[in-house]
C-alpha cells in the first residue's frame, strides 16, 4: 500500500515538473527567447543633463531579445554609465515595453579642481562642468570628505546673518582650515579649535563691521586669544605681519585681543616696515 502511494506521488511530481518546466523556461528566457520582442522604451527623467536620445541610444542595442529573455540588469548598467546618471531603474511592461526611470546626479559642491560632490555626499566626475554656476568650492583629502562637508555646513549656519558669504572651504593636507568669502576675503583658521575660533570672531564681527564700510581682505584667526585683520581700504589683500608661517608685510595690520567673555579687550594697529 505504501509502495503504491509513493509511486503515485513520484508520478505526480514528474507530471507537474513536465508541465511547469516549459512555463518556467519561457518566463526566464530559456526557451523562445525571440518571442514577444521588446520594441518600445519609455523614459522618465529630469533631463537637466541627460537627454532622452542618449538614454535610448545606450539601451537600444540590448533590446534584441524577447520580453522574457531580455536582461534588465544589462540595460540598467548601460544607462548608468552615461555621464550625469546617478542610477537607473528598469522594469518590463507587457507586452513589448521597457520602462526606464533615470536619476540624475544633483551637484552640491565642487571638489578640488575638476570634480563634483552630489547631494548624497559622493564624489563624481563629468566632463565640461566648468559652466556650472553657484556651487561652493570645497577641497581637501578625499578620505576627509565627510569632515569637510560637515565643517562647511556648520560654517554656513554660523555665518547666517553676518553679511559674510562663504565661497570656498579648504582643508590642507596638514589639517589647516581656510575660508574664501564671496567678497574675495580670505580667513585663515589653522588646525586647532577651528570652529571655536570662527565663532569667537563672529561674536565680535558686528561691532567691527559697523566701523568699516568695506569688508576685510584678510583675517587671521591663528592666534590663541585674538586675531588680525586687513581691510580693503588699507592695502591689497596679503597675510598680516608676523602671522604664523608668514613673512613681513608693508601694509597696515590691526590685531584684536579678546578677553574670556569674548569682548574686544584691546586693539593695536601696526605698520610693519615703517619706523
Could you give the angle at the alpha carbon of 189 between the alpha carbons of 185 and 180, nearest 5°?
Answer: 25
pTM: 0.74
Q: Which pLDDT score, from 0 to 100, does residue 2 have? A: 62
CB 109 within 8 A of CB 134: no
252-273 residues labelled b (16+ CB within 10 A) or e (exposed) = bbbbbebeeeeeeeeeeeeeee
C-alpha cell at 25: 523556461
The DSSP call for residue 240 is P
Q: Compute how many other C-beta atoms are within 10 angstroms of the C-beta atom of residue 158.
A: 16
How far, in Å, CA of 189 to CA of 131, rounded?
A: 30
Give the HSE-up count for residue 225: Cα atoms under 13 Å, Cβ half-sphere: 10
Q: How far is CA 121 from the centre of its chain?
A: 4
Q: Do the beta carbons of residue 138 and residue 148 sit within 8 Å?
A: yes
b/e sequence 132-155, b meaning 16+ C-beta within 10 Å: eeeebbbbbeeeebeebbebbeeb
> Which pLDDT does position 231 carry in this prediction?
85
Decide if pLDDT at 120 tops 90. yes
Q: Predicted confidence band at 261 (pLDDT cuts at 50, 70, 90)?
A: low
- pLDDT at residue 6, rounded to an integer: 65
Of 258 and 195, the structure prediction assigns the larger pLDDT to 195
pLDDT of residue 234: 46
Which tens digit of pLDDT belongs to each residue from 143-197?
A: 999 999 999 999 999 999 999 999 999 999 999 999 999 999 999 999 999 999 9
Distance CA 100, CA 164 (A): 44
- Continuous segment of H or E residues that includes residue 61: none
**209-249 residue pLDDT tens:** 888 877 789 999 999 888 999 987 544 434 444 445 444 34
Kindly give, in sequence order, each residue whose CB lies less than 8 Å from that of residue 48, ignoring residues fewer than 6 positions away.
84, 104
| Top mean-pLDDT range of 27-41, 228-242, 260-274 | 27-41
The pLDDT tens digits of the residues spanning 48-63 come to 999 999 999 999 998 8
pLDDT for 232: 74
- CA 108 to chain centroid: 5
Amino acid at each position: 500500500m505504501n509502495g503504491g502511494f509513493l509511486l503515485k506521488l513520484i508520478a505526480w511530481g514528474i507530471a507537474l515538473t513536465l508541465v511547469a518546466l516549459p512555463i518556467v523556461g519561457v518566463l526566464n528566457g530559456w526557451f523562445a527567447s525571440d518571442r514577444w520582442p521588446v520594441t518600445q522604451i519609455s523614459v522618465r527623467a529630469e533631463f537637466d543633463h541627460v537627454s532622452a536620445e542618449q538614454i535610448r541610444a545606450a539601451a537600444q542595442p540590448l533590446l534584441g531579445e524577447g520580453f522574457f529573455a531580455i536582461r534588465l540588469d544589462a540595460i540598467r548598467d548601460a544607462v548608468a554609465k552615461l555621464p550625469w546618471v546617478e542610477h537607473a531603474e528598469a522594469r518590463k511592461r507587457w507586452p513589448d515595453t521597457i520602462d526606464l526611470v533615470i536619476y540624475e546626479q544633483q551637484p552640491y559642491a565642487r571638489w578640488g579642481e575638476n570634480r563634483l560632490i552630489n547631494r548624497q555626499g559622493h564624489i563624481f566626475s563629468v566632463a565640461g562642468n566648468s559652466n556650472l554656476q553657484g556651487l561652493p568650492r570645497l577641497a581637501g583629502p578625499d578620505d576627509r570628505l565627510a569632515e569637510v562637508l560637515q565643517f562647511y555646513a556648520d560654517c554656513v549656519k554660523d555665518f547666517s546673518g553676518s553679511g559674510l558669504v562663504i565661497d570656498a572651504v579648504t582643508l590642507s593636507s596638514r589639517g589647516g582650515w581656510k575660508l574664501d568669502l564671496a567678497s574675495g576675503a580670505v580667513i585663515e583658521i589653522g588646525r586647532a579649535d577651528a570652529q571655536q575660533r570662527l565663532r569667537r570672531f563672529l561674536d565680535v564681527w558686528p561691532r567691527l563691521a559697523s566701523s568699516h564700510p568695506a569688508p576685510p581682505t584678510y583675517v587671521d584667526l591663528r592666534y590663541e586669544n585674538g586675531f588680525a585683520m586687513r581691510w580693503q581700504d588699507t592695502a591689497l589683500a596679503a597675510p598680516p605681519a608676523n602671522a604664523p608661517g608668514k613673512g613681513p608685510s608693508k601694509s597696515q595690520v590691526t590685531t584684536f585681543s579678546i578677553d574670556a567673555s569674548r569682548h574686544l579687550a584691546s586693539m593695536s594697529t601696526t605698520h610693519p616696515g615703517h619706523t
